[in-house]
Structure 1
Amino acid sequence: MAESPTLSIVDYVVIAATLAVPVGMGVCLAIKGRKRNTKEEYLLGGRKLHVLPVTLSLFVTFMSSTSLIGMPAETFTTGINFVLYVIAIALSYVIGIFTIVPIMHSLQVTSMYEYFRLRFQSPFLWLFVTVVGMFQKIVFTAVVLLSPALSIQTATGLPFWVSVVIVGLVGIVYTSLGGIRGVVLVDVFQAAIIMLGIFFVLVKGVHEVGGLDTTWTLAKEGGRIPPVDFDPDPRVRHSFWALTLGGLFTFFGYTFDQSAIQRICAIPKMSGAKTVYALNIFIVSTYIICVCFMGIVAYSYFATIGCDPFKAGILTNNNQRK
C-alpha cells in the first residue's frame, strides 16, 4: 500500500494563518463598529455595502468547499459534461435579476422570511418557512464542513472531528463578531485564495502533464470528454436536460436563498443589487469551468504516471476522491 501524503510545517503554518485571518477580521470589525451596534448594521451593514465585495461574497457563499472539492472529483470520475451546469447557473441569475431582486430590494426587508409574513399575513406560514429554512441551512452547513474535513483527514491523518470543530468554530467567531460586514470581508479574502489556488493548480497540473494538448488528449482517450447526451431519461446521470433544466431549479435554491436576499438588500441601490447578480453570472460560470477542468487535469496527470490513487491505496475511502 502506498503511503498517504503528509503536510509539512510550512503547510500547517499556512493553514493556521488562513484560519486566523478571518477571526482577526471579525474582531477588528467588532471593535470598529461597536458604536453602530444596531440590528440593521449587524444584519445588513447599514444597507451601505459596495457592489464588488458583495459580489465576491455571494460567489463564495454558494461556491463553497463542496464545489471546489466535489466538482473536480466528479469530472475526474465521470467526465467533463458536468460543465453544462453553467447554463443553468446563468439562467437562474438572469431570472433572479428580473424577479427576486426588484421585489426584495424594494421592500427593504431584513430577511426572505419577512417577505412571507408581509405577503401572506400568516404567522403559521411565516414560522413554518423559517423553521424549514433553518433546517436546510443546518444540513447544508454539515455538508460544507464534511468536504474539507475529508480532505484534511486524507492529507494529514488528523481525526475527522478535529477539522469539523476547528473550521466550524472559526466560522462562528468571525460571523458572530463581525456581522454581515465581517462575513463579506472574509468572503473577499477567501475568494482571492480560491482564485489564486485554482490558477496555480491548473498551471502546475497542465505543466506536469505536458501541456494543454496532451492533457486534453489523455482525457479524451480515457473517456473523460464524452459527447453531450440529450437523452430525456431522468435516470441518465449527466444528460443535457438534467444539467440545464434540472440544474436550473436546483440553483434557484441559491439565487432565492436567504443568504442571497440578505446581500442584495445590503446594497443601497437596486441597480447595484442587479449588478451583483449579473457579475456572478460571469464569475461563477468561469469558476465552474475551471474546477471542472481541474478534474480533467487530475485524470490526465494520474494517467501520465500510470497510477490510480484509489487502487494504489493512497485513498482508502471512495469519498476521499473529493
Structure 2
Amino acid sequence: MKINALDSSIILLYFVAIIGLGIWISRRQAKGGREFFLAGNSMRWPFIGASLFATNISSQQFVGQAGLAFTVGIIAGGFQIIGAVCFIFLAAFFIRIYMGLKLATSPEFFEKRYSGRCRTIVSFINLMMIILGNIAAALYAGALVLTHLLGWDQMENANLLYWVSVFLIGIAAGTYTLMGGLKAVIYCDFVQMIVLMLGGALLLFFGIQELGGIDAIFASKEATTGESMWSLVRPWNHSFGWLPMLTGAFVLGVHGHCTDQDYVQRALSAGNIYHAKMGALFAGVLKTLALLFIAAPGVVAAQLFVDQDIVARDNAYVSLLTNVMPTGLLGLCLAGLLAAIMSSVDSGLCACGSLLTFDFFAKIKKNATEKELLKDGRIIMVVLLVVCMLIAPFIRNFKGLFDYLLAIWAFLAPGVFVTVLFGLFYKRATERAAYWTLVVGCVLGFAAFCLLNLPALADIKSALPLHFQNKLNLSPLIVLICICTMVGISRLGKKTEQDIEKAKLVTIPDGQFVMSEEENKKYQRFLVGLLIFIASVVALFSPIFF
C-alpha cells in the first residue's frame, strides 16, 4: 500500500460521511420526476456554482489533465480558462432562453426551436458524451487511483482487482444519487468542491516546498521544445497552441458548458434567473482557480520525477500526493480526489437518467404520471451505471485519459455547437437545415474519430497535413462544413410556417425572467470581477513572465 492506516481511515470516513449526507438529504423523498431531476427548482447560486464546478472538475482533470500537464506543461490547464469563459456565455446568452422555454432537459431546446427528430439526435449525442466521457471515464480514473494506492496494480490478479475497484466506486456514488436525485447530488457536490479545492491547494504548496521554492519550479522547460512549462501561450502549430485552443477547444467548451445536460440541468434547478446566472459565474471563478490546483501540480510532478518513465502519465497527480504530502493531509487530499471522481459519476447518472426519462420514455408512455417517471428514471439509472462499469476498464487501451476524452468530445461537438448557436442568433435557420447539419456533424465526427484513432487507418492519417492530425484542428474544419450546411440549406431551402413560428420562441419577452435592480448590479459587478480575474491569470502565465 502507498498509504498508511491513518490516511486510509480518513478516506473511509469521508466515503461514509458523503454517502450518509446524500442519504440524509434524500430522507424527504421526491414526489415526481421533475422534482427528482431538477431539485424542485429551488437551488441557490453558491450550490449551483459549486455543483457545476464539481461536475466538471473530476477525473478528467485530476487524473487526465494533470497527466497531460505532466508532459506538456500548464497549457493543459488552458481548458480551465476556456471553460470559465464558456460559463460566462452560459450566464449571458443561454440561461434566460432555457428558463424561458421551461426546459426539463437541454436537448428539449432543439425540439422547441427545430423539431422532435433534432431533439432525438442531440439527446443521443449528449448521452454518448456523458456515458463515455463522464461516467465511464470517472470510474476508470477512480479504479486507477484506488488500485495504485492499495498496491493492487502490482498483484497477480491485478485485472480482477481493477474491476472490483470500478464496481466499488460505482456503487458508492450510485447509492445517494438513486435515492435523492439532483438535490442530493448538488449538496454533496458542494461539500466535495470544498474538499477537492483544499486538497489541490495543499498539494501545490507541499510540492513547491519539496522542489525548493518558487524559483526552482519556474525554471522547468518542456522536454521536446525547450519552452517554459508555465506558459499558457504556445505557438500556433503546437498541439495545444493558441490556434487550436481558440478554435477546437472553444467549440468543445461552448458545447460542453452551454448545451450538455449535466451542466444545464444544474442551471435549470435554480429558484430564479438571478441564482442561475450567479451560479454560472461562481463556477467560472472556481474553474480559473483550478488552473493552479490541478494543472500546476502536474507540472510540479514533471520536475520532481525528472525521469518520467518511473511514473505513468495518468498517475502523476496521485504519485505527487503520495510523495510530498504529510500523513493525515494525504488522506484528506486523496479524499478530495475521490470526491471529484464520485461527483462526476453522480452528476452523469442524474443527467443521463433525466435525458432518457424525459426525452425518450416520456414520449413512448405519453400519459405517464410524475411518480411513474420517477420510478422508471431510477431503473434507467441502475442500468446505465452497470453499463458504464462494464465500459470503464477498456479505456486503458488509450495512451492517456485526456487523449481519450478529447477524442470523444472533439468529434461529437461540432454539429450541436453549430445548430444551437444558429438556433439562438440566426432567425432564418430552418428545421431541415438543422437536421442535416446534425447528421453531417455526426457522420464526419465518427469518420474523423476513426481516422485519428484506428491503427488500420494509420497510413491515411499520416498522409494528412500535420496540422489536421491534431483533433483540436480537425474539429473546427467539421464546424466550418456544418456552418456551410446550415446556411446553405436555410437560404436555398423553403421556409415553412413552422420554421417562422419556432424562430419566435427563443425571443423571450423583455419583462420575463429579469432580475431586480439590486440583483442586476450584483451580477454585473461579479461579471466584471471575473473577467478581470481571468485576464490577470492569463497575463501572469504568459510569455510576459515566462
> How high is the TM-score relative to the length of structure 1?
0.86
Q: Determine the structure 2 residue equivalent to 1:298.
A: 301
Q: Cα–Cα, structure 1 residues 136 and 229, in superposed 2: closer, same or farther, change >3 Å?
A: closer
Checking the alignment, whether the CA contact within 8 Å between 2:50 and 2:282 is kept in structure 1 is: no
Q: Distance in 2 between matches of 1:181 and 1:74?
A: 33
Checking the alignment, whether the CA contact within 8 Å between 1:92 and 1:251 is kept in structure 2 is: yes
Q: Which amino acid aligns with 1:272?
A: H
Residue identity (%): 23
After superposition, residues 1-322 of structure 1 pair within 5 angstroms as 6-31=2-27, 33-34=28-29, 36-122=30-116, 124-140=117-133, 141-158=135-152, 159-217=161-219, 219-220=220-221, 223=226, 225-226=228-229, 228-231=233-236, 233=237, 236-255=238-257, 256-303=259-306, 308=307, 310-311=309-310, 315=311, 319-321=314-316
Checking the alignment, whether the CA contact within 8 Å between 1:85 and 1:244 is kept in structure 2 is: no
Checking the alignment, whether the CA contact within 8 Å between 1:29 and 1:177 is kept in structure 2 is: no
Q: Which amino acid aligns with 2:292?
A: I
Q: Distance in 2 between matches of 1:89 and 1:132?
A: 20
The count of corresponding residues between Structure 1 and Structure 2 is: 303
Q: Distance in 1 between matches of 2:46 and 2:227?
A: 36
Checking the alignment, whether the CA contact within 8 Å between 2:66 and 2:294 is kept in structure 1 is: yes
Shift of 1:270: 1.0
Shift of 1:318: 5.3
Q: Cα–Cα, structure 1 residues 24 and 310, in superposed 2: closer, same or farther, change >3 Å?
A: same
- Structure showing greater relative contact order (alpha-carbon pairs closer than 8 Å, 6 or more residues apart): 1
Which runs of 5 or more residues in structure 1 are unaligned? none
Shift of 1:178: 1.1
Q: Which amino acid aligns with 2:287?
A: V
Which runs of 5 or more residues in structure 2 are unaligned? 153-160, 318-546
Q: Distance in 2 between matches of 1:73 and 1:191?
A: 21
| RMSD across aligned positions (CA) | 2.2
Q: Determine the structure 1 residue equivalent to 2:515.
A: none
Q: Cα–Cα, structure 1 residues 216 and 75, in superposed 2: closer, same or farther, change >3 Å?
A: same
Q: Deviations over 1:181-211 (max 9, x none)?
A: 1000110111111011111111111111111
Q: Distance in 1 between matches of 2:227 and 2:169?
A: 33
Checking the alignment, whether the CA contact within 8 Å between 1:224 and 1:296 is kept in structure 2 is: no
Shift of 1:173: 1.0
Q: Distance in 2 between matches of 1:73 and 1:239?
A: 18
Q: Deviations over 1:38-72 (max 9, x none)?
A: 32321122111111011100001011112012222
Q: Determine the structure 1 residue equivalent to 2:525.
A: none
Shift of 1:283: 1.1
Q: Distance in 1 between matches of 2:130 and 2:84?
A: 23
Checking the alignment, whether the CA contact within 8 Å between 1:78 and 1:224 is kept in structure 2 is: no
- Of residues 13-22 and 124-133 in structure 1, the stretch that sits farther from structure 2 once superposed is 124-133
- Of residues 220-229 and 174-183 in structure 1, the stretch that sits farther from structure 2 once superposed is 220-229
